[in-house]
Amino acid sequence: MAGMSKMKPGLASDAVNLAFIEAITADADAVQGRVLSEILGRNGESEYLTEKCGGLSGSASVDVRAAFRAKVPMATYEDLLPYIRRIADGDRSAILTGTANPVTELFTSSGTSGGERKMIPTVEDEVDRRYLLEGLFTTVMNQHAPGIDKGKSMYFLFVSSQSKTAGGLTAGTVMTSYYKSKQYAGHAYPQNNTSPTAAILCEDAAQSTYAQMLCGLCQRRDVMHVGAVFAVALVRAVRFLQDNWERLAADIDAGELLGQGEGGGVITDPAVRAAVAAVLRRPDPELAAFVRAECGKGDWAGIIPRIWPNTKYLGTVVTGSMAQYVPTLNYYSGGLPMASDIWGASEGDFGLNLSPLCDPYEASYTIMPNMAYFEFLPVVDDGDSDAASHDDQLVELAQVEAGKEYEMVITTYAGLNRYRLGDVLRVTGFHNAAPMVRFVRRKNTLLSIDVDKTDEAELQAAVERASALLRPHGAAVVEYTSRACTAAVPGRYVIYWELRTDKEDTVVNDNVLERCCLEMEEALSTVYRQKRVEDGSIAPLQIRVVQPATFDKLLDYAISRGTSIAQYKVPRCVTENPPLVDLLDSRVVSTHVSSALPHWAPDQPSSNK
């Protein structure tokens, strides 16, 4: 199985792919040894590994594996940032990777460091490993939904703007790079999707969504699965249909894209217009009448199978923070199965869901041992992996235990060595010798609506910055908590404030509290602000002021549930605690949002950040 990471997707039959999955999971530890040897053969003489351990060869011996584990320390993004900045600024020496496999691009992660997007290095052949996993999952899906390959998918896929670093490297999201790659252009997938490539590659989200929805409606009887990368994007697509069905029906009726009009959804991009025209060939009054009849009812329950009647499942990630959208998708789909396919990140793709049509809340991913070298940091009883963050505590892939939680640590072909990914996972079982894991949480993340991730320190800093505006008015924030609210689309951050005033009759006016909302948003990460401003996938942050002594009521509730007053800590997030949400909402005295948008400008990664 040497060179297994270079196996080409799309060329193997389902039988070959299934045999491949069985082979690498049955011999997981040996595969891990070979993967580490391949990585060290490529990157062993890099500056980073030379500094840490004098360099390592790619020998397959147990001694080299042991030496790597003994000498190379765990690293965080902050540890690697000086090296990444040099790469971004144009240093082409062997910094993190060997000279024969240089960093070719930087992926801007949804994770942040100091409020700025992380820049994750990648190498040219990484996209092949990602496509390998896509091909394997297609085979898995064929086993669970026979005949799915006979129809089309309607997947809402999007790109965002890319930029150039000071050294000339492209920087952008992994999915943008993926859809712009020559591998994607040459793959069969674009031909099997109702969304034209030109629409996917359009950076204007409104034009892109309009074009993809219109083409999906025109091919509604061919569609056998509906999806998006993340559940939030699929929810937004259905909401877009709710807001734009009349215009969509008018274009279908006319057989062409009509005039400019008012509002979103107008397609002005010439390439997108041409791609849509190739689908919207002639007037279709029957389809237009159908769309008007279904959407005009005002009943959106089960709208997906009503309009796309051959849909067998929804393909979208509904694990982790995306689980909050499962009830909404159940409503729109009439309870269709939801298939979370691949578990990955900007740093790489790591696992497959081998039971894709299971209950979405029970989804587990089998780690594919050929994708990277995996180690696991045990999470102690209080949920903190830092308490066990000594390098000698790391457990190899074949030694993890079912039922235990770990933080994943990865070594990749792209030069990340013993890198702490920040994902906390629970081992739910094994497929052969490969562990199956369920995403528990992003380490330290409190709030997330889209791909934004706000941790406790970031939230605290935002509250402090905003609350400074209260001081001239004789008020201060006594306590606060938060939740991600997805009852409406788009979702928003809700922040609960209990205020103290210098004088009993002091009233903080609405304008001040609205400014506090904007100030909090200005303090949040660039990812959050982009989603608010450019994508519109997060609604304005809302501050809800609660009655005095409300947080004493939270303490009383905790004590009634058995918490010791000596150990009680105010929860900084109550998203997953409905009784506390109900208690807080029952004591809200005023609600505030800002009509202004926070500042955001496109990423321009550089070493000066």
Please give the pLDDT value at position 3: 35
Q: Per residue in 103-119, is it b (16+ CB within 10 Å) or e — as a string?
A: bbbbbbbbbbeebebbb
**Pairwise pLDDT comparison (3 vs 332), residue with the higher score:** 332
pLDDT tens sequence across 435-452:
999 988 777 778 999 888
Please give the pLDDT value at position 381: 57
DSSP string, 545-580: EE-TTHHHHHHHHHHHTT--TTT----S--TT-HHH
pLDDT tens sequence across 543-602:
999 999 898 899 888 878 766 555 567 888 998 788 999 999 999 999 999 999 999 887
Please give the pLDDT value at position 385: 54
Q: 385, 407 in Cβ contact below 8 A?
A: yes
Whole-structure pTM value: 0.79
Dihedral angle at the C-alpha atoms of 77, 517, 319, 536, nearest 10 degrees?
A: -100
Cross-strand pairs, 441: 424
Domain definitions of the chain by residue range: 9-124+344-442, 149-311, 445-593
